[in-house]
Structure 1
Amino acid sequence: MSRSAKKGLFSATNHKLCGAKSGGILVKLNKLLISGIMASLALSACAPQKNDSSILTSGDGIIGGTELKSEDSMSQSIVAVYDAFEGQICTGSLLTNNIVLTAAHCIGLFQEDMYVFFGTAITATSEHRKVEKVEISQYWENRQGEDFDTGDIALIKFSGELPAGYKPATLLGNKRNIKKGAEIVLAGYGIADGKTGAGIGTLRTTKVKIDNPNYSTSEFLVDQTQGTGACHGDSGGPAYLEQNGKLYLMGITSRGVKDENNDCSQYAAFTSTLYYKSWINRMVTRLTSSLVDPNQLMPK
């Protein structure tokens, strides 16, 4: 069973990577990454087939949203996380110049087949970096099938330099404005239509409202019944709270709730970055080889 098919997670959807022919050969993204041969390919929804190197959208895309441009400040801290072995795409947020915050269920079985992609429209020619190390919440292994407190959080360290124009997100430092009805901002590379599966690979954003700030000890719930929200492909992506015109990262897209039709039209659960503050700081220290002060990541 794929990670995205486990209880509570948005089911994975096959989106074959259809590309232009290069030298008469139709190449697919994961083969290109492994071989280092790049061609101009675009992500689009196609009929799935066995052993087809498909793109699987893991967990949660942005429904009812708008596309982000490279010059938008929000897009400068968001990346795509790609598992070449499973052909699965997720979303993540930069915490430092080479560490990404994402969902635990986005981490592939084989670390050597994972990559971080940059850009607002992901193709095989998009700039990317190889994943070096990962850290997954200690709770995930035993609680991933539970309804609450699943520990769906992970950190990724990638090799190489951060591309020009990118910068780390700012994490929320307190919970005083996290309350029922508060408007938050979501973003991700997932599908734009929960019924047709169209739109994967393009970075979009939308706004939703918090339905339950205390859905569980480590999670909050958002209302997606108004036609906007996260969907297949946005797993690991950010949820922001806006304060004084600035966006603060407060959550990680995890899974659908009460979404029996699997069309992302009901509710979604998010892992709280505030709850995992100490864990994030410890794991950044473990992953980084620089002298970054982890206490600077999240205000006291």
Structure 2
Amino acid sequence: MFKAISRRSMALATLMALGLALITTATAAAGVNHAAIIGGRDATETYSFMASFRLSEVPNHHCGGALIAADWVVTAAHCKGLMKPGETRVRIGSLDRDKGGVVARVKRIVTHPDWSGRDSDGERKGDLELIQLDRRVNLAPIRIADAPGRVGDPSRVIGWGMTCESMARCENGSEKLQELDTVRVPDNRCVDLNSGTELCTSDSAGRAASACHGDSGGPQIRKVAGRWELIGATSRDGDDVDERMGGGAGCSTNPDGGPGVGVWTDVTHYRSWITRTIGERAPAEPRS
């Protein structure tokens, strides 16, 4: 998984103790600094639905999300360990992760029932989580698309994650929201992807550019009839499996050092579950 950002190694240990499914960034590309996200740019417009999560115990931004209703945000299930009702703050609608926008707190957490990190077959499924806010916010949510689009269709990912492959230099991410133009690519480009529930995505220009640690849960969006609609939630690296991480490939590169791919949970696939859950206002899961 792309993991949460923190300033201290102690905080990273805390994340692991909380049970997040994490993937460590390889650093063979150390010394090569990429523009943010990795390879992106400062946001060129305001995204009223963009959310940043941070927990008081680990006070820095750690995951992104998308406002899909006045009091509901969708994010990645592997961010669950840092979601605590009454404690985790959510900043929405700002280009700056540290100020502006509207701030609320997490009230309720609903994780997709398929999520277990890895199932008995070693597959990751249902990396999706719904967060109910402690109040309704007066910001425009993003509509969930009817479908994710076809292979070759353009999309965009946004977030405040790492801006280069080196954890030592870039773990703090970017203060300014970053955007990266992407494209959906064939499922077989990604390792261990679940076709039909996940999206394999690469940089639209074919460069070594992608989301990275700290971008988890953030939105993948595409233009439909001139407006942005939500199709994905940032999940994990698409071509580096655990046993390859010693080989040096990071978020934006593949094991051979070439341009890499990433996996996004297909939010459109889970649209009925999301609609049903929000309508039922499901009870909160027990606090950890």
Aligned counterparts of 1:98 and 1:124: Cα–Cα separation in 2: 20
Q: Does 1:78 align with 2:50?
A: yes
Instruction: Return 5+ residue gaps in structure 2 as ranges.
Output: 26-35, 254-259, 284-288
Q: What's the counterpart of residue 147 of structure 2?
A: 174
Aligned equivalent of 2:81, options 87, 92, 108? 108
What is the TM-score of this pair, normalised by structure 1? 0.70
Amino acid corresponding to residue 263 of structure 2 in structure 1 = A
* Residue aligned with 2:110, SS: strand
Answer whether contact 1:143 1:151 (CA < 8 A) is retained.
no
CA distance in 2, matches of 1:273, 1:229: 19
Kindly provide the CA deviation profile for residues 121-156 of structure 1, in whole angstroms up to 9, marking residues without a partner as x: 122787521111010000112636866452100110
Deviation at 1:100, TM superposition (A): 0.3
Aligned to 2:261: 267
Query: Aligned residue for 1:252?
Result: 233
Q: Indicate the residue corresponding to 1:10 in structure 2.
A: 2
**Matched residue of 2:268: which SS?**
coil
Question: Are 2:97 and 2:176, in contact at CA under 8 Å, matched by a contact in 1?
Answer: yes
List per-residue Cα deviations over 1:194-250 (Å, max 9, x = no partner): 334163342111111212258423101112461322111111111112233221111
3-state secondary structure, aligned to 1:258: coil
Deviation at 1:51, TM superposition (A): 6.2
Q: 1:144–1:151: 8 Å Cα contact kept in structure 2?
A: no
* 1:122 alignment partner, SS class: coil
Kindly indicate whether the alpha-carbon contact (under 8 Å) linking 2:211 and 2:251 is maintained by their aligned counterparts in 1.
no
Counting only pairs closer than 5 Å after superposition, residues 188-203 of structure 1 correspond to structure 2 as: 188-195=159-166, 196-197=169-170, 199-203=173-177
Shift of 1:254: 0.4
Distance 1:122 1:146, change over 3 A: farther
Pair 1:137-2:112 in alignment: yes
How do residues 88-99 of structure 1 correspond to structure 2 at under 5 angstroms?
A: 89-99=62-72
| Cα distance in 2 for residues equivalent to 1:52 and 1:229 | 22
Q: After TM superposition, give the deviation of residue 268 of structure 1 in Å.
A: 0.8
In the alignment, which residue of structure 2 is the partner of 1:66? 41
* Aligned-partner residue type, residue 134 of structure 1: I
Higher mean C-alpha deviation, range 94-103 or range 142-151:
142-151
| Contact map agreement 1:94 1:101 (CA 8 A) in 2 | yes
What's 1:208 paired with? Answer: 182
In 2 relative to 1, CA 167–83 (structure 1 residues): closer, same or farther, beyond 3 Å?
Answer: same
Secondary structure at the counterpart of residue 278 of structure 1:
helix
Q: Please, which runs of 5 or more residues in structure 1 have no aligned partner?
A: 1-8, 17-47, 290-300
Tell me by how many angstroms 1:253 deviates: 0.6
Matching residue's letter, 2:69: T
More relative contact order, 1 or 2 (CA 8 Å, 6+ apart): 2
Change (3 A) 1:274 1:126: closer
Compared CA separation, residues 185 and 148, structure 1 to 2 (3 A): farther
What TM-score, normalized by structure 2, do the two folds share? 0.72
- Residues 153 and 271 of structure 1 are in contact (CA less than 8 Å); yes or no, is this contact kept in structure 2? yes
Residue 53 of structure 1: how far off its partner (Å): 11
**Residue in 2 aligned with 1:43?**
none
Structure 1 contact 103–252 (Cα < 8 Å) conserved: yes
CA change 1:146–1:63 in 2 (3 A) is farther
Q: Quick one: which amino acid aligns to residue 220 of structure 1?
A: L
1:229 — aligned with what?
210
Specify whether residues 202 and 144 from structure 1 end up closer, same or farther in structure 2 by C-alpha distance, changes over 3 A only.
Answer: farther
